[in-house]
Amino acid sequence: MLFIDTLVQGVLLGGLYALFAAGLSLVFGIMRLVNLAHGDLIVLAAYLMLLVVTVLGVSPFVALLICAPAMFALGWVLQRFVLNRVLGEDVLPPLLVTFGLSVVIQNSLLETASADSRRLPAGDLVNASLPLGPVNVGVMPLATFLSAVAVIMALQWIFFRTALGRRFRAVSDDPVTAGLMGIRPKSIFALATGIAMIVVTIAALYLGIRSNFDPAIGPARLIYAFEAVIIGGLGSIWGTLAGGIIIGVAQTFGAAVNPEWQILSGHLVFILVLLLRPRGLFPRAYD
Amino acid sequence: MTALLETGGLSAFYGDFQALFGIDLSLEPGDCMAIIGANGAGKTTLMRAIAGTVVRRTGQVSLSQRDIGGLAADQVAALGVAMVPEGRKLFPSLNVEENLLIGATVAQKGPWALAGIYDLFPVLREKRHAPATSLSGGQQQMVAIGRALMGNPRLLLCDEISLGLAPIVIKDIYAALPKIRAAGASVIVVEQDIGQALKVADHVHCMMEGRITLSGRPADLARDAIHDAYFGTVSAGTGHAVH
Amino acid sequence: MQGYVKTATRASRPFVLLLALVVIALALAPLWASRNTLQDLFFILTMLSLAQFWNLLAGYGGLVSIGQQAFVGLGAYAMFGAVILLGIGPIQAILLGGIAALALAIPTAFFAFRLQGAYFAVGTWVVAEVVRLCVSMWQAVGGGSGTSLPRDARDGLIGLDQIMALFSVRGAEARDIILYWLALCVTVATVLGLYAFLRTRSGLALSAVRDNIAAARSVGVRAEGMRWRVFLIAAFGTGIIGALIFLQNGRISPDAAFSVTDWTAFVFFIVIIGGIGTIEGPIIGVLVLFALQSAFAQFGAWYLVMLGLLAIGVTLFAPKGLWGLISARTGLSLFPVRRRLILSDPSEDKP
């Protein structure tokens, strides 16, 4: 009973981690870029929503609709004017720039929003739960998980069923030849990062409603997201969901044994998976 | 009649290495030009310099008297120049039909659409949902040509489309060329196979070490002169090439 | 045609003299510097050494680690553990800090070398988090809240009495002098050791790899052994410096010892702003960092924002850093690594 309960909670927590990871996975799949500021951008989006909620007095879900386009624009500008300049053979410059960006975002938030913990207000929803078979599940964790599945289905649909997705895949395969087809890879990259930032905003919504956040928590979210992406296999979006679930389940079981072990057991499972399956669980056939 | 494509003193560089030295070319609308030459003669670089994928180039390139020398590859493509790149360069993540569709990203108005490509290369219709890289070499070449045609280009650049293919397959592929020209595209083919080039082209240019060493109509060119221009040998008075 | 291989440049000869003078002046610092200045110099020297080891990893080895705080923290904790639990003298325990970091580096490398590029970076970070979380559960050294070095261990520093007598200072000042000298020794050894290593055959191969990514790939198989060597050397050195820094602090906690900001972000700014892949770069970088810190530290986090923006700007517009700009203008190379072939054939012997 306890086992099933822990398992279900872990799977649902995995949905949150998959949301953290989906944007990272998308960007990596298309341009082989790891954005070390990803976690901080999630936190930034949470603060942005808090600002909208506070100023306009709307619910966080309405704030999402306002903030998502803003975050899309931010991602587009960031890619177009900064990150595109450092893409290339050398992996160092993008790491340096995104790490620098991470420090900039964290400390800017620290100065403007203070180090206090904040939370997005969602009224009674936070504590609501409903019986699901033998266990009670929280409404918010369930909504998070379903949102993660929906986001991944949407990304999958864009990727494999639309003209834009075709361009994403073509540019990912071979940017030079894509250029011969009249596609400008750098514009495609800017769109991809913009879309990733919409996913980041959705992730920030659930992060902010379910738990407290402060400017310093970004890097830890990046690590969970990164672990989910690697466990799932680079560039596999469904694999990212599986990776998120594995981290989530590992953490809840760790926490069930000893609360101090929650985060640690997630990391250890990640290391274990990587030792056994260096390319993740669902690697792409080619790369 | 004004030239469709004109280059004047076109040079190209890879880093410090100069691969093209002042190429002057002119292609009339509707014509088919062949560029021949040995490996490393600069043929592919010339195609890349026209298409805009060479980073550093100097000199003039103009399309219908519009300067395209400073444009990026995607901008050149949008003006109606399509390339069948050397080695085909199909997108492995895309199936056959998606590869064709990606060619229509900046399509002009014109005769070519999916149905037309499938009529030109019927085998592709059967394989349209197969991953592009699962096809045979010849079929992949057909996809690459189809992909370029989907943009309804004014100018089609074909880089080494017979390389590595069996003679029978080469024949099939070249059989499509008259239909492509009839539909309105001007063509430049890059070939190592002299015979094939002479058969299809109105004009032939031979390249060696980044320069054009011989130009003319196929009928006007003596085999020995082509041989000399191709290999850089000096012919003796009797017409025998000296190796 | 005959020739010989030369690595010295015109600038490097007078520079050797200057360097020797600077080291001598620094060694005599307890005579001319106040206690505050000595502590500032300790900060500069230890940060410079950390930066040089990260530079060796990222700039020469292509191994961009953001988990070096694992080795700083573990080195420091091993030193504290050895002092508190085994009663070993703090200075001897510094060496144990280096050995502990080395021991951690072996499984870390085994794991992280499976990851390429950016994934290597985050992989090392995960390892650092694992070590931090494990150390937080180690109750003997204070668990999550940390602990202080026992008073008798701090007062039992080797040579403390002699220094107190020699400079006629109190215990705390004498301790600062000893630790400062240690930091100076470690830094000089780090810089000269790195220079000597880069001039060996394998060191030159590293520089070649850094200068040409395509070459790096083509020598990939051989580079594997090289990556191990670089990673282990950097871990050992970083562990030693970590132990030294926290011996000076006298207090340790997991958050301080495994801080990404202090031990990786600052180091990264020093190397990027100064010039990655050069020995001169981090020296300039650490001086710039110290100057900025002295001038702007009262602005708190805005100071870090500025540093981050500066690092982004440098990466975008001057990827070789300040030293790169200087050496491009002047042709200076103070630590010449590249060997130049000097031909003695008269016809070639033109200026």
Contact C312 A101 (CB under 8 A): yes
Determine, yes or no, domain membership for A178: yes
| pLDDT band at A255; cut points 50, 70, 90 | very high
Summarize the confidence of residues B100-110 as an average pLDDT.
Answer: 90
* pLDDT confidence of residue B239: 37
And the tokens for C219?
């020598």
Determine, yes or no, domain membership for A227: yes
Query: At CA B155, angle to CA B153 and CA B157, rounded to 5?
Result: 110
Range list of β-strands (E), C241-319: 251-252
Q: Which of B78, B82, B92 sits opposite A286 (nearest CB)?
A: B92
Determine, yes or no, domain membership for C335: yes
- From the list B122, B198, C309, B224, the residue with the least C-alpha distance to A102 is C309
Q: Over the stretch C81-105, which tens digit does the pLDDT of each residue have?
A: 999 999 898 999 999 999 999 999 9
* pLDDT confidence of residue B2: 83
pLDDT over threshold 60, residue C20:
yes
- Cβ neighbors of C192 (< 8 A, separation 6 or more) are none
Which chains are within 8 Å of B by 3+ CB pairs?
Answer: A
pLDDT over threshold 70, residue B93:
yes
Summarize the confidence of residues C71-79 as an average pLDDT.
Answer: 97
Determine, yes or no, domain membership for A282: no
Amino acid letter, C190: T
Boundaries of domain holding A131: 2-276
pLDDT over threshold 90, residue C168:
no
CB A229 within 8 A of CB A28: yes
C–B contact (≥3 CB pairs within 8 Å)?
A: no
Summarize the confidence of residues B172-189 as an average pLDDT.
Answer: 93
Query: Which residues of chain B lie closer than 8 angstroms to A176, CB-CB?
Result: 53, 73, 89
Phi-psi region of B222 (alpha: psi -120 to 50; beta: other; left: phi over 0): beta
Structural domains of chain B, with CATH: 5-88+153-230 (3.40.50.300)
pLDDT over threshold 50, residue C346:
no
* pLDDT confidence of residue A248: 96
- Interchain CB contact of A80 with C (< 8 Å): no
Query: Which residues of chain A lie closer than 8 angstroms to B102, CB-CB?
Result: 166-167, 170, 178, 181, 183
Query: Which residues of chain A lie closer than 8 angstroms to C122, CB-CB?
Result: 34, 36, 222-223, 226
DSSP symbol at B233:
P
Determine, yes or no, domain membership for C252: yes
- Interchain CB contact of A186 with B (< 8 Å): no
| pLDDT band at B141; cut points 50, 70, 90 | very high
No. of H helices and E strands in chain B?
10, 10
Share of chain B above pLDDT 90, in %: 65
* pLDDT confidence of residue C347: 43
* pLDDT confidence of residue C349: 38
CB B183 within 8 A of CB B111: yes
Interface of C with A in 128-147 (CB under 8 A): 129-130, 133-134, 136-137
Q: What is the mean pLDDT of chain A?
A: 93
Determine, yes or no, domain membership for A285: no
Determine, yes or no, domain membership for C79: yes
* pLDDT confidence of residue C348: 39
Q: Over the stretch B7-62, which tens digit does the pLDDT of each residue have?
A: 999 999 988 889 999 999 999 999 999 999 888 889 999 999 999 998 788 899 99
DSSP symbol at B110:
S
Please tell me the distance in Å from A99's CA to the nearest CA on chain C: 8
Contact A182 B92 (CB under 8 A): no
Distance of CA B184 to the CA centre of its chain: 16
| pLDDT band at C300; cut points 50, 70, 90 | confident
Separation CA B82–CA B31 (nearest Å): 15
Helix (H, G, I), strand (E, B) or coil at C208: helix
Query: At CA B206, angle to CA B201 and CA B211, rounded to 5?
Result: 140
User: Got the DSSP string for A82-130?
Assistant: IIHHH-SS-SHHHHHHHHHHHHHHHHHHHHHH-S--B----GGGGT-EE
Query: Which residues of chain A lie closer than 8 angstroms to B77, CB-CB?
Result: 179-182
Share of chain A above pLDDT 90, in %: 81
Kindly give the interhelix angle for A38-56 and A60-78, rounded to the nearest 10 degrees.
140
Summarize the confidence of residues A34-56 as an average pLDDT.
Answer: 96
Summarize the confidence of residues A30-36 as an average pLDDT.
Answer: 90
The number of folded domains in chain A is: 1
CB B36 within 8 A of CB B204: yes
Boundaries of domain holding C340: 3-346
CB C324 within 8 A of CB C273: no
* pLDDT confidence of residue C299: 86
The number of folded domains in chain C is: 1
Determine, yes or no, domain membership for C55: yes
Query: Which residues of chain C lie closer than 8 angstroms to A230, CB-CB?
Result: 115, 119
pLDDT over threshold 60, residue C213:
no
- Interchain CB contact of C305 with A (< 8 Å): yes
* pLDDT confidence of residue A251: 96
Look up the ipTM and state it.
0.91
Summarize the confidence of residues A185-199 as an average pLDDT.
Answer: 96
* pLDDT confidence of residue C11: 62
Tokens 């070398």 belong to C113
Q: What is the mean pLDDT of chain B?
A: 89
Determine, yes or no, domain membership for C351: no
- Interchain CB contact of A214 with C (< 8 Å): no
Separation CA A182–CA B152 (nearest Å): 12
pLDDT over threshold 50, residue C41:
yes
Determine, yes or no, domain membership for A284: no
| pLDDT band at C351; cut points 50, 70, 90 | very low
* pLDDT confidence of residue B147: 96
Q: Over the stretch A86-108, which tens digit does the pLDDT of each residue have?
A: 998 778 889 899 999 999 999 99
- Interchain CB contact of A59 with C (< 8 Å): no
pLDDT over threshold 80, residue A215:
yes
* pLDDT confidence of residue C4: 58
Q: What is the CATH number of the domain that holds A87?
A: 1.10.3470
Task: Specify the pairing of strand B186-191 against strand B155-159.
Answer: parallel
Query: Which residues of chain A lie closer than 8 angstroms to B85, CB-CB?
Result: 177, 180
Determine, yes or no, domain membership for A50: yes
Query: Which residues of chain A lie closer than 8 angstroms to B94, CB-CB?
Result: 166, 169-170, 173
* pLDDT confidence of residue B228: 82
Q: Over the stretch C44-73, which tens digit does the pLDDT of each residue have?
A: 999 999 999 999 998 888 888 999 999 999
Helix (H, G, I), strand (E, B) or coil at B34: strand
* pLDDT confidence of residue B73: 93
Please tell me the distance in Å from C322's CA to the nearest CA on chain A: 16
Separation CA C287–CA C22 (nearest Å): 14
Helix (H, G, I), strand (E, B) or coil at C38: helix
| pLDDT band at B243; cut points 50, 70, 90 | very low
Measured CA distances, C346 to B134, B237, C1, C340, C350 (Å): 62, 46, 9, 17, 8
* pLDDT confidence of residue A219: 93
CA dihedral sign, ordered B223, B226, B227, B233? positive
> Residue length, chain B?
243
CB C258 within 8 A of CB C128: yes
Q: Over the stretch A66-85, which tens digit does the pLDDT of each residue have?
A: 999 999 999 999 999 999 99
Amino acid letter, B241: A
Range list of β-strands (E), A117-234: 129-132, 135-138
- Interchain CB contact of A216 with C (< 8 Å): no
Please tell me the distance in Å from A76's CA to the nearest CA on chain C: 18
- Interchain CB contact of A165 with B (< 8 Å): no
Separation CA A126–CA B109 (nearest Å): 56
Range list of β-strands (E), C114-229: 147-148
Paired strand residues for B81: B155
